[in-house]
């Protein structure tokens, strides 16, 4: 199980442009347990956005967003509403956000941060990974996580060692920032590369004292 918490609503609004239309996706798996992604949270978020002048073209919840076969079927039923949206806003862990990004050619935006639980990653058998950094950057990087795809965990662009699109540490591995560049190019959002990402807050990558005393900690030990 991966634990999530909602991003501050003010932070969400800062990343939405005036007049943008959005489609909401919630996860009724782990995120619903955390009260961050179930149907109630999706409806509450849609109401908040509406009051802020953001048009919601539609919404859906998926039992386990990390189940790409199930997610693909459910998302296909909302194809028209998704097509009308400028961005897909996702209430789930980082894995769910990446999974949707790999299925739909639309900018994705996480509405949650994945909380560090001391190394527990959950059960997931595909390429998407979440380091539980506590400050999800996937909106900036086209739905590809720089922390997990870049061997050096760089968040503001590639190092100088990449060659022919491959990582200097592992010549068989694609450079994470080349993948991010190609994804942003496909989405028409290369301007994101000009936006400076704030330095990581490494305190968020450790389980807090409050988390270690919570019922969630007992569930994932």
Question: According to CATH, what is the number of the domain 3-136?
Answer: 3.40.50
User: Which residues are CB-neighbours of 157 under 8 A, at least 6 positions away?
Assistant: 177, 193
Q: Is the pTM of this model over 0.85?
A: yes
Closest CA to 26 of 51, 68, 1, 63: 63
Does the structure show a pLDDT above 60 at 169? yes
User: Where are the domains positioned within the chain?
Assistant: 3-136, 141-196
The residue whose two tokens read 């997990």 is 148
**pLDDT, tens digit (0-9, with 9 covering 90-100), for 85-133:** 999 999 999 999 999 999 999 999 999 999 877 655 555 666 778 888 8
In sequence order, the β-bridge partners of residue 36 are none
Cβ contact 82:21 at 8 Å:
no
What's the chain's length in residues? 221
Does the structure show a pLDDT above 90 at 219? no
3-state secondary structure of 165: coil
User: Which residues are CB-neighbours of 214 under 8 A, at least 6 positions away?
Assistant: none
**pLDDT, tens digit (0-9, with 9 covering 90-100), for 132-154:** 888 999 999 999 999 999 999 89
What are the structure tokens assigned to 209, written together?
């004292």
**pLDDT, tens digit (0-9, with 9 covering 90-100), for 151-166:** 998 988 889 898 899 9
Residues 6, 9: Cα–Cα separation, whole Å: 8
Note the pLDDT of residue 13: 93
Residues 33, 125: Cα–Cα separation, whole Å: 21
């Amino acid at each position: 199980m991966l634990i999530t918490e909602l991003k501050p609503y003010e932070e969400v609004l800062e990343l939405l442009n005036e007049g943008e239309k959005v489609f909401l996706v919630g996860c009724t798996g782990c995120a619903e347990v955390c009260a961050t992604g179930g149907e109630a949270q999706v409806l509450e978020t849609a109401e908040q956005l509406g009051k802020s002048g953001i048009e919601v073209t539609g919404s859906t919840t998926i039992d386990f967003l990390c189940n790409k076969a199930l997610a693909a079927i459910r998302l296909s039923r909302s194809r028209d509403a998704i097509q009308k949206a400028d961005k897909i806003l996702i209430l789930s862990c980082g894995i769910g956000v990446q999974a949707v990004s790999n299925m739909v050619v639309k900018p994705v935006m996480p509405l949650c941060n994945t909380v560090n639980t001391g190394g527990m990653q959950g059960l997931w058998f595909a390429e998407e990974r979440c380091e539980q950094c506590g400050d999800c950057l996937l909106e900036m990087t086209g739905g590809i996580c720089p922390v997990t795809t870049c061997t050096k965990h760089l968040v503001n662009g590639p190092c100088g060692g990449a060659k022919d699109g491959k990582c200097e540490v592992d010549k068989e591995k694609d450079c994470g920032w080349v993948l991010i560049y190609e994804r942003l190019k496909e989405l028409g959002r290369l301007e994101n590369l000009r936006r400076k990402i704030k330095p990581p807050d490494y305190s968020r990558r450790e389980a807090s004292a409050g988390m270690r005393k919570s019922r969630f900690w007992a569930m994932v030990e």
